[in-house]
Amino acid sequence: MGVLLRDHLLFRKRSSRSFTGVVFWGFLFLLPGPAFASPPCSQWMGKVIAVDGTLELSHPNQSWSRLQAGQYVCPGDVLRTGINSRASIYLSNNTYMRLNQVTLVHFPDSPKNESFWIQLQSGIAHFLSRITHRFEVETPYVNAMVEGTEFVVSASQQGSVTVIEGRLLTSAGSRQLSIGQGEMAQISPSDKSLQAIRIDSTQSVDWAVYFPPLITLEELISKSSDDREQSILRQSYDLINSRETDAALSLLEAQPDQSPAIRLTRAAIQLSLGQSEEAESSLIALQNDPELAPQALSLQAILEVIRSQPDAALDAARSASRLAPESAAAHLAMSYAWQAKLQLENATTSAEQATVMAPDNILGWTRLAELYLSSASYGKARHATEQAQALAPHHPLVLTMAGYVALFDLDLSQSKQLFQQALEKDPGNPSTWLGLGLALLRSGDTEQGRHHLEIAVSLSPNQSLLRSYLGRSYFEEKRGSDAEEQWQLAEKFDPNDPTPMFYLGIHKLFNNDPVGAIEDLQHSKSLNEHRAIYRSDGLLQSDAASRSAALARAYDEVGYDQAVLLEGWKALRQDPASPDGHRLLADRYATLPNHEAARASELLQAQLWQPLSVYPFQPQLSETGLSVIEGLGPSLPGHNEYHSLFSQNGLYAWVNGIAGSDDTWGNDAVISALEGPLAISLGQYHYQTDGFRGQDTEQEQDIYNGLLQWQVLPSTSIQLEARKLDSEDQIYTLKSIAPDADIKPREINEETYRLGFRSRLNQQHSIIFSAISQNRDDNQSASSTVTNRTQKTIEVQHLYNQEDFYLQTGLGNSEIEGDAKIGNPGDYFQLEETEDLTHKHFYTYLGYRFSEQLFLLLGAAYDNQETTPQQTIKFYDIPLPTENAPDKLSEWSPKFGLEYSPVNEITMRLAAFKTIKRDIAADQTIEPVQVVGFNQVYDDINSAEVKVYAVGLDYVPDSGNHLGLESIFRKVNTPIEAFQEEPDQNQREFNYHRIYFYHSFSDRMTMDLGHEFEDIDLVDKQFTANGNIYRTKTFITPVGVNYYLHQTLYGRIESIYADQTVDASFFSDDQREFREHLWNLNLQIGFRFPKRLGELQLGINNLTDEDNEIINSELDYPRFYPKRFLYSRIQLSF
């Protein structure tokens, strides 16, 4: 194939001239497509994928005949490529063979030793093999024996074999030599022995590179004043249109007068054939030509892009643009150069200018559509594609781009049809094979999708992007070693691309190597700091945020809990719309006391921002007040988050279960289905236990949920969710202050309905909407208390996100109708209360990134609440007078946060803010939950006014050491409660201080050490018979060690020392101090099932059977299980 194509398909000039235009571009040629005919033999050896120039076949005793894409090769056939030609062949043993020019290959009549083998008699061939049986390549000089690898073989007197990945056994006569990645086996010229040489194996496939389309030949013809030169250029054009690019190059090389136009045309064709050195010598000389220097510089820029030299590419493109500001080719070259530097906005601007300069050139429109898709501007991408379709609806470039637009629209059938039509016209474009592979993967056809990605890689083996995709497809097939090799190669072909290291980190995370994952993910983040955010998968967004989220998952695996919070906050600082960032904060908050509302809110935001997904959240994660001690539920937050790197149509299921002491057992199960733009899931959760104290701590919970997601447009989705909760438990009383407290049963029935909407209007503007309705019945039989509440909360948020700052603005409205009844008829005390509450809320947050070292957050919120109570109080059936005046609240709440890193290893955070605890449906809000990493949505009393002052210091000298400290002071003013004696008794103070240290002893062992102190002063000293807690002081020192053995086993030993002082008051007006301390030893071992099927855990908490109770920060349940607890937990995914 050549870079000069039929111009009437590419460029339609408003002129009466019949000769319109021809385009220079990478080896794209109009060939019959890959719709393969029936093979002429029963045991075919190979089939032709694509041809650049001439590929000929000779049957036994027959002359040579020309081959085209779609034809087969049979046993005994001989193939040869012509000069200035290349070809791609798919072999029947699942190997992809790419032939360079002047290469001769013989296929034997019969197998040798039950293996697949071929003879490379001369030339150079690249092989991408994924076979499991023996495969041999013989040459007259060096032979190669393969079992699944990628290599290049050269058949010459200095014959050589170069391994790109994997290992293979080479031989020459009786001599054998095993070589691995980055090694070349070559015959020594002195003694003819085999010797291994370390080389840069990436250069061995330079001849197979793909060059994107760039320049029209008409520019050269129109500028030429020489009739003979015009005639030669037109003849070249005719040869290219007849699929004889090699003949066109031979014609140009044969001209005695090598004019600048002829030399430029030669250079363009040479680039399309991978002959970069030959082309570059001409381009350098032409850069001084007064007329053709802009075109030469433009091609030079593309060459530098292919070489992964973005700075040199940008310099060349800028020079071309300065010499010819009106040249569309110069602007297109600038676009590729900016993209190489991952500056998408600048790349898009340059492509837009190209369409202005040449509005009838499809190259500009298809390039612009590609960039619009990369930046999630789907409507603009569709418009640009339609402009190209109006010019040349059947051109393969246009069909390919239309296929990608349909893929983003999730019109998978149309997408596959368009890609297939494009391949019928041009089977040599790796981007088209990539698109068809992605469409097949999304449709659930993993094997065929991967096969098409392998073809794409074989057509352009040096593209890091294609390697990353191929690795992901292997990962999808649970072929971890193959995936790892592709990502390592992608990193080698483009060392500055953070994406391969990101996927390598994910791979290690699944292979029980979280320490190695941390190193790779940190390296990926450091690369991302030097390159703008653009992942090699345009379907995924906010790459920097995803890297932080993945790194946090790795930190969670090794017990670095504070590092999890910091990386979660960094993910949201980089992209406030990151679903990964919100999700990991939700998972981390699930293990922290007094963070249930924060966890539920972060989970809601993760759901709203997430793309269409088959991985829904477990039913219990959206509920609050479940009173399950940390780590003793059926599933652990965050586990198995990275099941897949592709979303695919199909049916999926997840099952988690736990069984433990005190007749504890539980499970959650989710089944989901994805089909095109629709995803649906059904979930169930059950948990029950007899409790650590028997009847007064037993509980049983059931939750059911259903979620429907509909992707209306690539940027717009709608969610519908329904949840039902049924819970029976006992109101907990701390044993030390009330050892003989009565049992207080409680029954809760709750139904929740949610409507969600998300739309990314463009790269900067996004909107989310949430509407939640909840009905809740709460029955406490011991106190004869029955409450019923109906809550409705509607919120909307707009996000404006630029490179240096973001602005989040939102408003909401909550309406509550509730009634409560205390006492039964005839009781000495009865109370009936109804309440209507309306709460209007507005907020705005501005986050400004002054630099990588300094970030400032400023914000404000306004709350307006009006409550209309209606009380009836009876004392021995005698009504008492009550005041039922409306209660109004109107408050402004300022927000301030500052993050500063004087050096890369140190991060300082400072925050001061005020907030009003809103009474909202399901305790879920879409307002930002944290300020520079400090939570602002605590489980305080509704309508409380909360002021928070916080400071944190984190020091990370290297990936193996983390240490820091954090202090938080909260002052909470709560509403005056009924019968409260003193108006000033509604003030509460919370002081929290923590230091931590994490260390990696090796890639197999880590340690986490911490110490925290919490002082809760409720001030209010109301008197009750069982004692009322008004102050607690708690010291906790946890120490944990993790060990990871091979790819399956891991273990953790954890020691926790806790000391707590509780002050309580009683009816007798006496105040007492109670002190408890405990030392818990927890053991856990785990086994990860192969193929990412799940894991099994066995553990013992509180090995020494300490029965002291340490109450949590909410003062409603123990923080640690107060007796020995044995458990087993299993997690499975299908």
Tens of pLDDT along 580-597? 788 888 888 887 888 889
Structure-block tokens of residue 726 = 């049924």
Among 185-194, 363-372, 738-747, 985-994, the range of highest mean pLDDT = 363-372
Give the tens place of pLDDT for each residue, 875-914: 777 777 676 767 888 999 999 999 999 998 999 999 999 9
Domains and CATH numbers, the chain: 46-207 (2.60.120.1440), 394-490 (1.25.40.10), 1029-1134 (no CATH)
Rounded to an integer, what is the distance from CA 609 to the centroid of its chain?
A: 13
Q: Which residue has the higher pLDDT, 15 or 807?
A: 807
User: What SS3 state is found at 319?
Assistant: helix
- What pTM was estimated for this model as a whole? 0.82
**pLDDT value at position 1015?**
94
Q: What is the pLDDT of residues 91-111, one digit of tens each?
A: 888 888 999 999 999 888 876
Is the separation of the CB atoms in 769 and 796 below 8 Å?
yes
Q: Are 563 and 546 in contact (CB under 8 A)?
A: no
Helix (H, G, I), strand (E, B) or coil at 981: coil
Task: Determine the Cα–Cα distance for residues 571 and 542; give it in Å rounded to an integer.
Answer: 9
CA dihedral over 243, 245, 247, 248, signed as positive or negative: positive
What DSSP state is assigned to residue 207? G
Extract long-range pairs of 962-966: CB within 8 Å, 24+ residues apart.
962/560, 962/562, 962/563, 962/996, 962/997, 962/998, 962/999, 963/995, 963/996, 963/997, 963/998, 964/562, 964/995, 964/996, 965/993, 965/994, 965/995, 965/996, 966/562, 966/992, 966/993, 966/994, 966/995
- Look up residue 864 and give its two tokens: 């307006």
Look at residue 196 and tell me whether its pLDDT is greater than 80.
Answer: no
Query: How many helices (H) and strands (E) in the chain?
Result: 23, 44
- Model pLDDT for residues 512-545, shown as the tens digit of each residue: 888 888 888 888 777 765 443 333 333 333 445 5
pLDDT-derived band of residue 547, with 50, 70 and 90 as boundaries?
low
Roughly what angle, to the nearest 10 degrees, separates helices 430-442 and 464-476?
A: 20
pLDDT at 422 over 70: yes
Evaluate the CA torsion angle 869, 873, 878, 882 in order and state its sign.
negative
Q: Is 134 helix (H, G, I), strand (E, B) or coil?
A: coil
Q: Tell me, what DSSP letter sits at residue 141?
A: S
Question: In this predicted model, what pLDDT tens digit does every residue of 960-1014 receive, in sequence order?
Answer: 899 999 999 999 988 765 444 444 457 889 999 999 999 999 888 999 999 999 9
Instruction: Give the residue-averaged pLDDT of 483-504.
Output: 84
Residue-level pLDDT at 660? 92
Strand pairing class (104-106; 78-81): antiparallel
Please give the helix or strand (H or E) that residue 332 lies within, else none: helix 328-340
**Which are the contacts of 311, defined by CB distance < 8 A and separation ≥ 6?**
341
Mean pLDDT confidence for 245-264: 87
- Please give the full DSSP string across 211-222, using - where no structure is assigned: ----EETHHHHH
pLDDT digit string, tens, across residues 682-697: 999 999 998 888 777 8
Kindly state the DSSP code that residue 1091 receives in the 8-state scheme.
G
Report residue 404's pLDDT band, with 50, 70 and 90 as the boundaries. very high
Cα dihedral 992/894/577/609 (nearest 10): 90
Q: Which residue has the tokens 């433009």?
A: 298
Three-state secondary structure string covering 360-400: CEHHHHHHHHHHHHHCCCHHHHHHHHHHHHHHCCCCHHHHH
pLDDT digits (tens, 9 = 90+) for 909-945: 999 999 999 999 889 999 999 999 999 999 888 888 9
pLDDT value at position 545? Answer: 52
Tokens of 198: 């370390």
What 526-531 contacts at long range (C-beta under 8 Å, 24+ apart), as own/partner pairs, is 527/496, 527/497, 527/498, 527/501, 528/498, 529/852, 530/496, 531/341, 531/342, 531/496, 531/497, 531/498
**Looking at residue 966, what is its pLDDT?**
95
Res 4: pLDDT: 30
The DSSP 8-state label assigned to residue 115 in this structure reads B
Written as six digits, the tokens of 381 are 């991408």
Task: Name the region of 1115 (left: φ>0; alpha: ψ -120 to 50; beta: rest).
Answer: left
- pLDDT given for residue 888 in this prediction: 87
The 3-class secondary structure across 651-697, one letter per residue, is EEEEEEEEEECCCEEEEEEEEEEEECCEEEEEEEEEEEECCCCHHHH
What pLDDT is attached to residue 827? 74
DSSP annotation of 84: T
- If you search the block for the tokens 């398909």, which residue do you land on? 9
Question: Which helix (H) or strand (E) element contains residue 263?
Answer: helix 260-272
Report pLDDT digits (tens) over 291-347: 889 889 999 998 888 887 889 999 999 999 999 898 888 999 999 999 888 787 889
The residue type of 728 is: E
Spatial neighbors of 1132 by CB under 8 A, at least 6 apart, are 654, 655, 656, 1089, 1093, 1094
Confidence of residue 1043 (pLDDT cuts 50, 70, 90): very high
> DSSP states of 541-598 as a string?
--HHHHHHHHHHHHHHHTT-HHHHHHHHHHHHHH-TT-HHHHHHHHHHHTTSTT-HHH
Distance between CA atoms of 556 and 570, rounded to whole angstroms? 15
The Cα-based distances of 147 to 137, 151, 174, 452, 470 in angstroms read 12, 11, 20, 21, 19
**Any idea which of 64-78, 1005-1019, 1059-1073 has the lowest mean pLDDT?**
1059-1073
What rounded mean pLDDT belongs to the chain? 83
* Cross-strand partners of 767: 759, 798
* Cα separation, 752 vs 432, whole angstroms: 46
